[in-house]
Structure 1
Amino acid sequence: MIRYLCRRLAFGVALLALVTSATFFAVFGSSHTVVRSLVGEQATEQQIAARTAELGLDRPVWEQFGDWVAHAVTGDLGTSYFTSEPVTQAIGNRLPVTLTLMICSMVVLAVVSAVLGVLAAVRRGGVVDRTLQLVTETLSAVPKFWLALMLVIALAINLRFFPATGYAPLSDGVGAWALGIVLPTAAIVLGELRITSMVRGAVSDELDKPYVRTLRSRGLSETEVLFRHVLRNAAPPWLSLLSMKVVALFGGVVVIEKVFAVPGVGSLATGAATSGDIPVLMGVVVTTVAIIFVVYLVFDLVQAWLNPKVRLS
C-alpha cells in the first residue's frame, strides 16, 4: 500500500507540473493585452512598456516561469495585478466556500444515486425503474445554469423557501448556512444524476450472479443479501464513475457560483480569466489540480479497501 501511495503521489506531482507549465505558457502569451487593460486604452507605448517592466513581463518567459515555480514551492503564488491582494490569501478566503459546496454535492450525489440506483435495480422493468431512467436522462441533458435558474424562480422567488443568491458562513448559524447552500447543491446534483444508471447496472449484474442464488438458498434474507454482499461487490464501478465526476462537479460549481453569487474559487477564477489576472488564474489552476488529485486518491484508497484485487494490483 505504501508503494502504491508513493506511485500515486509521484503521478500527482507530475500531473501538477504538466498542467501548471502548460497553463503558464498559454496565459503569459497574452501578457501585452493584460498590461494594456491595466494601464487603460489611452495609455502610450512608453507607459505600457514601463508597466510591463514593473511586472517583470519583459523578461524571457522561461525566466518568468522559473521565478514563479521558485516562489510557488514556498507557498507564494504571487499578487493579483488588479487588487494587489496576495493570491494565496485570495484563494484561502474563498476555498472553504467552494470545498463546502463540492463536498455537499458529492455526498448528496453519492447517497441519492445509490438509493435510486438500488431501487431501480430491485424493481427492474417496472414503472419506478423506467421513470427514474427517464427523469435522470432528461436532467443530464439540461444545462446546469438553466436548472439553477428554474430552482431560483420556483423555490426562492415564487415560494420564498430559500434565498435566491448569496452564501452564509457557518459562523452565521447552521440554519442560515443550510438555507443558502441547498439550491446550489441541488442544481449541481440534479445535473449529474445520470450516474444512477451505473449503480442500477452494477447492482443488476450482481443480482444475476450465481452466488446470490446460493446465498438465498442458505436462508439469508433479501435485505442481508443486498446490503451485505451485493452492494459491496457493486461499489467499485460506481466509485470509479463517481470519482470521475469530480471534474464535472468542479465545472458545475464554477457555473453555479456565478448564478447564485457565491463567493468561491469558481467565481474568482471566472473573474481572473475575464480580466486577465494571470497570477490569480495560475493560483486557481494549481489549487484545483491539487484538490482533484487528492479526491481521486481518496476514491482509489476506498476502492482498494472494498476490493482485495485492487490492493493486490
Structure 2
Amino acid sequence: MAGPLTPDVAAPTGKAPEVNPPAGAARPARPVVLSVLARTGLVLVKRAALLAVLLALVFGTVELLPGDAANATSERGESAADIQERRELLGLDRPVPERFWDWMSGLPTGDLGTSARGEPVTGLLSSAFPNTLLLGGIALLLTAVLSLALGCWAALRPGGRVDRAVSGSATAVLALPEFVVAVALVLVLSLWTGWLPAVTLTDADGNPDSWTMLVLPALALTIPQTGWNTRIVRAALADEARAPHVETAVLDGLPPHRVLTRHVLPGALPTVAAGLATSTGMLLGGAVVVETVFNYPGIGSVLASAVTDRDSPVIAGVTALAGAVVTGVLLVADLIRDAMTGVRR
C-alpha cells in the first residue's frame, strides 16, 4: 500500500506516455527556414522590379542624348542613305518601348543583345567584368580590414586623441572623389617616386600584365570607402557599448580589448556588414572613373565607349550586371544581419 509520499504507479497500458514539450522549448526549424525563404524571395522580387525600372530609365536617357548609335558609329564619308540603313539594321527606327521589351525578353537567358558595332554584348562584358570584379573585390577586402582596424582602435579610448584623429581623418577622406585620390596617388607613388606604374598594361588575354598595376587603382577605390566605413564602424561600436551586457563586462573589470572583441564587436557586425554591402555599389560606380584614369581593362572603358556610341544595349548590360552584383551582396548582408540578430536573441 502506497504511503502519502509514495507516488502512484499506473499500470502499464502498452502505450508510451504522452510528453508535452516544455513551454520554453525551441520552435521547429522548418517554419523558421520557410519564413526566411519567403522573406528572401520577396526581397529579390522587389529588387528585380527596381532593376527593371532602372534599366528602362537607362534606355530612355540614352534616347535623350544628341545623335544616335547609327550616327555615332558611322565612318567618315558615309552617305545619309548608309546611315539610315544602319539605323534600320540596329532597329533604331522602332519605338523605344518596343526595343526595350525585346532586350528585356532576352535577359533571363543571358542574351544582352548586340552592340552598335555588331559585337555580342555578353562577349564584351565577359572579358571586362571579371577584371572589374577583381579590382572591386580587392578594394572591398582592404576597406573591410582597414575600417574595422581603425574603428576598433578609435573605440578603445572613446573621446581620446586617437579617436578624434581617426574620426576627423575619416571625414576628410570621405569627402574626396575617387578621381582626385587617383590623381594624387599617380603624382606621389608614380611620378615622384617611381614605385608603381601610372597606367595599366595588358597581356595577350586582356588582363593586367602585373599585380603591381592593381595597386594604385585598388587604393584609389579603397581610400574614400575606408573613410565612410570607418565612421560606420565607430558609430556601431559606440551604440553597442551602451548595451547592458557591455556595461556589466566593464564593471566586472575585463580589459578594454577583451570587452571590445568579445562583447561590443559581435553586436556591431550586422551594421558593419550593411555598410560594406552599401559600399559595393559605390565601388562599382567609382571603378568606372578609376579604370578610365589608369587605363584599366574593366567595364569602365566599355561603358565610356558605349556612352560615346549611344549604345543602349551595352549600357543596359553593364547596369544589369552591376545591379545583380549589388543585389547579391545586399542579400548576403541581410542574411548575416538576420542570423546575428537571431543568435543574440
Common topology (TM > 0.5): yes
Whether the 8 Å CA contact 2:121–2:313 is kept in 1: the answer is yes
* Cα distance in 2 between the residues matched to 1:28 and 1:60: 10
Q: Which residue of structure 2 aligns with residue 187 of structure 1?
A: 220
What residue in structure 1 maps to residue 72 of structure 2? 37
Per-residue deviation, residues 44-90 of structure 1 (Å, max 9, x unmatched): 443332221121221233332232222332222122213x2211011
* Higher helix content, 1 or 2: 1
Match of 2:19 in 1: none
- 1:235 positional shift: 1.9
TM-score for both structures, normalised by structure 1: 0.89
User: Relative to 1, partners in 2 of residues 1:172 and 1:227: Cα closer, same or farther, differing over 3 Å?
Assistant: farther
The residue that corresponds to 1:122 in the other structure is: 156
Q: 1:10 aligned to 2:45? A: yes
Per-residue CA deviation, residues 201-230 of structure 1 (Å, 9 max, x unaligned), is 221232233322312444544333211221
- Counterparts of 2:179 and 2:208 in 1: how far apart (Å)? 26
Q: Distance in 2 between matches of 1:69 and 1:224?
A: 53
State whether structure 2 residue 343 is matched by structure 1 residue 283: no
Equivalent residue pairs, number: 308
One-letter amino acid of the counterpart of residue 223, structure 2:
L
Q: Is the 8 Å Cα contact of residues 114 and 196 (structure 1) preserved in structure 2?
A: yes
Q: How far, CA to CA, are the matches of 1:221 and 1:121 in structure 2?
A: 13
- Superposed CA offset, 1:281-313 (max 9, x none): 121111111111111111111111211289x9x
Structural RMSD (CA): 2.7
Q: Secondary structure at the match of 2:260?
A: helix
Residue of structure 2 in register with 1:165 after alignment:
199
Contact residue 122 and residue 204 of structure 1 kept, 8 A? no
Instruction: Work out whether residues 167 and 181 of structure 1, in 8 Å CA contact, stay in contact via their aligned partners in 2.
Output: no
Select the structure of larger CA radius of gyration. 2
Sequence identity percentage = 35
Unaligned runs of 5+ in 2: 1-35
The 5-angstrom pairing of residues 219-238 of structure 1 reads 220-238=254-272
Where does residue 181 of structure 2 map in the other structure? Answer: 147
- TM-score, normalised to structure 2's length? 0.81
What are the Cα deviations for residues 224-263 of structure 1, in whole angstroms up to 9, with x where unaligned?
3211221011222222222222222112111110111101
Indicate conservation of the 8 Å contact 2:200/2:294, yes or no: yes
Q: Distance in 2 between matches of 1:119 and 1:175?
A: 37
1:1-313 superposed matches below 5 A: 1-28=36-63, 30=65, 33-40=68-75, 43-82=78-117, 84-166=118-200, 176-177=210-211, 179-192=212-225, 193-218=227-252, 220-308=254-342
The aligned counterpart of 2:8 is none
| Structure-2 change in CA distance of 1:167 and 1:101 (3 Å) | farther
Kept after mapping to 2: 8 A contact 1:36/1:43: no
Given that 1:121 and 1:201 are in contact with CA atoms closer than 8 Å, whether structure 2 keeps it comes out as no
- Matched to 1:190, the amino acid is I
Say whether the 8 Å CA contact 2:186–2:198 is kept in structure 1.
yes
Whole-angstrom distance in 1 between the partners of 2:149 and 2:182: 23
Q: Please report how far the alpha carbon of residue 172 of structure 1 lies from its aligned counterpart in structure 2 after TM superposition.
A: 11
- The Cα offsets for residues 101-127 of structure 1, whole Å up to 9 and x where unpaired, read as 111111111111111011111122222
Alignment-mate amino acid for residue 211 of structure 1: H
User: 145-154 or 61-70, which moves further after superposition?
Assistant: 61-70
Which secondary structure state, in structure 1, belongs to the residue aligned with residue 109 of structure 2? Answer: coil
Q: Secondary structure at the match of 2:68?
A: helix
Q: Counterpart amino acid of 1:16?
A: L
Retained in 2: the 8 A contact 1:78–1:86? yes
Contact 1:77 1:279 in 2 (8 A): yes
Change (3 A) 1:259 1:202: same
